[in-house]
Amino acid sequence: MCGIVGYVGQKQSLPIALDALRRMEYRGYDSAGIAVAGSNGIVSAKRAGKLANLEDKIAEIGADTLGGTTGIGHTRWATHGRPTDENAHPHLSYDGKVAIVHNGIIENFAPLRDELVSAGIELASETDSEVAAHLVARAYNEGETAGDFRASALGVLRRLEGAFTLLFIHADHPDQIIAARRSTPLMIGVGEGEMFLGSDVAAFIEHTKQAIELGQDSVVIITKDDYEILNFDGTASEGTPFTIDWDLEAAEKGGFDSFMMKEIYEQPAAVRDTLVGHFSAGRVTLDENNLGEAELAAFDQVFVIACGSAYHSGLAAKYAIEHWVRIPVQIEVASEFRYRDPVLDERTLVLAISQSGETADTLEAVRHAKGQGAKVLAVCNTNGSQIPRESDAVLYTHAGPEIGVASTKAFLAQVAANYIVGLALAQAKGTLSPAEVAEIWAELEAVPEKISETLGTRDQLKQISETLGAVTTMLFLGRGVGYPIALEGALKLKELAYIHAEGFPAGELKHGPIALIEDDLPVVVVVPSPRGLSQLHSKIVSNIQEIRARGAKTLVIAEEGDTAVEPFANWLVRIPATRPLMQPLLATVPLQFLSADIARQCGNDDIDKPRNLAKSVTVE
Ligand code: F6R
């Protein structure tokens, strides 16, 4: 979950690395640091906290001290060791000649650290990462690989266990960076007279659109004019070149005061782009996908695995797939999945949903599912990331880069993609007729326009959040497919405003949670369409009355034309009418605004980077 950059070229590496870290700060922001290989050997600067702290430090010591055309940088989300200056990367070797940055976990760091300590080397940090710097320095200073940077690095890499992206620079070889990846991401950016390394393409899109994706267990050596890809055993290997189609503009705020707000407004496009190309000649197609119709038809159960918002998108999919395909859909938080022995076989389709494609819990669940013989279809927003690479098939969402840590557009795109999978299954199994599939598709295609209309609730939500007063807790209720919306609304409020919030199925309230209701407690109620299962609508209207009778203030999200809810709403937010199952694609939007507004009122202005969170969670 850390962000890593490397540069070898003709320009000063410091400003290039700092810019890259700024664009990758969403990957982690507990600390940041830079090391440069120049005429003064290795010079580094690092600081706990956001990048601004590192910039202050550099201003203090003078940018000139970090002169050099080869540099590495790191923005950290702490795993081993607290977010302190000492634990920030880069880490230097005992002789000051090797600097490393690391993303991931070195699982066997304890015996390696003991080995170093017995050799009299003092460790300066509490991290697992630091051992890599000392080990390479030792291998370079003594023994068989003495004087050979490449052989020293390769030898150390072969000893490491776990998941890691590592970049090494050496004072005696200031013209190169040696890097490696195992289970965590690393891309090469190919420029003219300059080469880049990055955890993702945001590290270098400003400078080049030509990139190379690296396979598992790859080592890469870059100089300003060339790159060489090796396996861990030193034999030659190759990467996959591609042209980046995200421009820099797409990764910046575009006039909004936060990435998250920009991304909320990108939701119509995110859903539209996700749907594009998946319906032709009257049929839903999974063209990026290698599961054929016959394979789809043979599945007799679906398992959904995901975390957080992605999990909520999967919960919405459960309602849709069971309704359309008439096969059981089980859903599991990915971190629990493999620890409870789920019953899977080759007739099980596992839907692994992940924006980043790097979430360790989901990745491990994918590996477990594959080990049990199930077929895994990834729904993912990030090309070339680990989860799609390890899955049997992939359906990409096309939400573009999501920088705000709290998921918005990726969530809506996931719901849309999950529905594509549901329709493809129904089509293959014949549980929906072609006319029914076409009708549902037409409604899906109408959704982006309706999301645009829903964006019109912006000012109303601002006013509502202002009149709510000081909120210390908030409940979210839904029924049917409104339940995942309630969970997502509560998660957004927790993440952004640090306020206690819980989502419940409205019918469950009377089984306990109703005891929480007291005077003036704000309760959000997502009302199902009156055109859906009729008893569901009337039941939630009763639920609203029950909580109002106990003093709660209700913020009701209901579709246009639903007059039955009017007498029971302290605040009523209207969303366009749609098929009941499409409701998550609309009703979530006002809840995103609500959380952002309440967050600001609570003094959390930096809604893009809520405390304690990271965008990609690559540890279990
Ligand atoms: C919530 C949020 C997280 C992610 C979760 C999964 O706003 O962003 O709950 O949804 O960490 O991340 P991905 O989708 O990258 O696997």
* Residue 249 clears pLDDT 80, i.e. is over it: no
For ligand 1, the distance from its centroid to the CA atom of residue 309, given in whole angstroms, is 5
Interatomic CA distance for residues 98 and 41, integer angstroms: 9
Is 204 in the same domain as 232? yes
* Residue 433 confidence class, pLDDT cut points 50, 70, 90: very high
Is 495 in the same domain as 416? no
Is 442 in the same domain as 461? no
* Residue 83 confidence class, pLDDT cut points 50, 70, 90: confident
**135-to-105, 119, 145, 165, 235 alpha-carbon distances in Å:** 16, 11, 12, 16, 22
For ligand 1, the distance from its centroid to the CA atom of residue 291, given in whole angstroms, is 26
Is 516 in the same domain as 385? no
Q: Which pLDDT does position 79 carry in this prediction?
A: 62
Is 438 in the same domain as 406? yes
**Residue where a domain stops, chosen among 451, 470, 501:** 451
Count of the separate structural domains present in the chain: 3
Q: Which pLDDT does position 50 carry in this prediction?
A: 86
Residue positions annotated with a catalytic role: 2, 615
Find the radius of gyration of the CA atoms of the chain: 26
Q: Which pLDDT does position 133 carry in this prediction?
A: 98
Residue 49 is which amino acid? G
Is 442 in the same domain as 460? no
Residue owning tokens 């302290």: 570
* Residue 28 confidence class, pLDDT cut points 50, 70, 90: low
The answer as to whether 615 is a domain residue is no
- In sequence order, which residues have a C-beta less than 8 Å from that of residue 559 and are 6 or more positions away? 527, 529, 530, 574, 575, 576, 577, 578, 583
For ligand 1, the distance from its centroid to the CA atom of residue 585, given in whole angstroms, is 17
* Residue 10 clears pLDDT 60, i.e. is over it: yes
Question: Three-state secondary structure along 177-233?
Answer: EEEEEECCCCEEEECCCCEEEECCHHHCCCCCCEEEECCCCEEEEECCCCEEEEECC
CATH number of the domain that residue 21 is part of: 3.60.20.10
Tens digit of pLDDT for each residue in 438-473?
999 999 999 999 999 999 999 999 999 999 988 899
The answer as to whether 7 is a domain residue is yes
Counting DSSP H helices and E strands in the chain, the numbers are 18, 26
Strand pairing report for 301-306 and 329-333: parallel
* Ligand 1 pocket check for 427: Cβ under 6 Å: no
Write down the mean pLDDT value for the chain: 93
* Residue 558 clears pLDDT 60, i.e. is over it: yes
Q: Which domain holds residue 479?
A: 455-601
- Among 259, 309, 313, the mutation site with the greatest number of ligand 1 atoms within 8 A of its Cβ is 309
- Mean pLDDT, residues 248-277: 84
Residue pair 94/137 in contact (Cβ under 8 Å)? The answer is: yes
Give the predicted TM-score (pTM) of the model.
Answer: 0.77
Q: Which pLDDT does position 277 carry in this prediction?
A: 83
Is 498 in the same domain as 587? yes
The answer as to whether 541 is a domain residue is yes
- Mean pLDDT, residues 348-352: 98
Is 433 in the same domain as 556? no
The number of the ligand 1 atom at minimal distance from the alpha carbon of 362 is 16
Q: Which pLDDT does position 620 carry in this prediction?
A: 75
The answer as to whether 362 is a domain residue is yes
* Ligand 1 pocket check for 596: Cβ under 6 Å: no
Interatomic CA distance for residues 140 and 99, integer angstroms: 13
Q: Which pLDDT does position 224 carry in this prediction?
A: 98
Helix (H, G, I), strand (E, B) or coil at 504: strand
* Residue 23 confidence class, pLDDT cut points 50, 70, 90: confident
- Mean pLDDT, residues 329-336: 95
Nearest residue (CA) to ligand 1, atom 7: 406
Query: Residues 554, 557, 561, 564: what is their CA dihedral angle, to the nearest 10 degrees?
Result: -30
Is 429 in the same domain as 287? yes
* Ligand 1 pocket check for 381: Cβ under 6 Å: no
The answer as to whether 607 is a domain residue is no
* Residue 613 clears pLDDT 90, i.e. is over it: no
The answer as to whether 618 is a domain residue is no
Residue pair 445/419 in contact (Cβ under 8 Å)? The answer is: no
Percent of the chain whose pLDDT exceeds 90: 78
- Among 27, 315, 355, the mutation site with the greatest number of ligand 1 atoms within 8 A of its Cβ is 355
* Ligand 1 pocket check for 361: Cβ under 6 Å: no
- In sequence order, which residues have a C-beta less than 8 Å from that of residue 592 and are 6 or more positions away? 260, 264, 408, 492
Is 218 in the same domain as 93? yes
* Ligand 1 pocket check for 495: Cβ under 6 Å: yes
Residue pair 125/106 in contact (Cβ under 8 Å)? The answer is: no
The answer as to whether 415 is a domain residue is yes
The answer as to whether 217 is a domain residue is yes
Is 274 in the same domain as 419? yes
**Residue where a domain stops, chosen among 216, 249, 282:** 249
Q: Which of 387, 366, 377, 455 is nearest to 420 (CA)?
A: 377
Is 358 in the same domain as 431? yes
Nearest residue (CA) to ligand 1, atom 10: 309
Tens digit of pLDDT for each residue in 265-286?
999 989 988 998 899 889 999 8
**Residue where a domain stops, chosen among 451, 472, 488:** 451
The number of the ligand 1 atom at minimal distance from the alpha carbon of 309 is 10
Nearest residue (CA) to ligand 1, atom 16: 354
CATH number of the domain that residue 477 is part of: 3.40.50.10490
* Ligand 1 pocket check for 618: Cβ under 6 Å: no
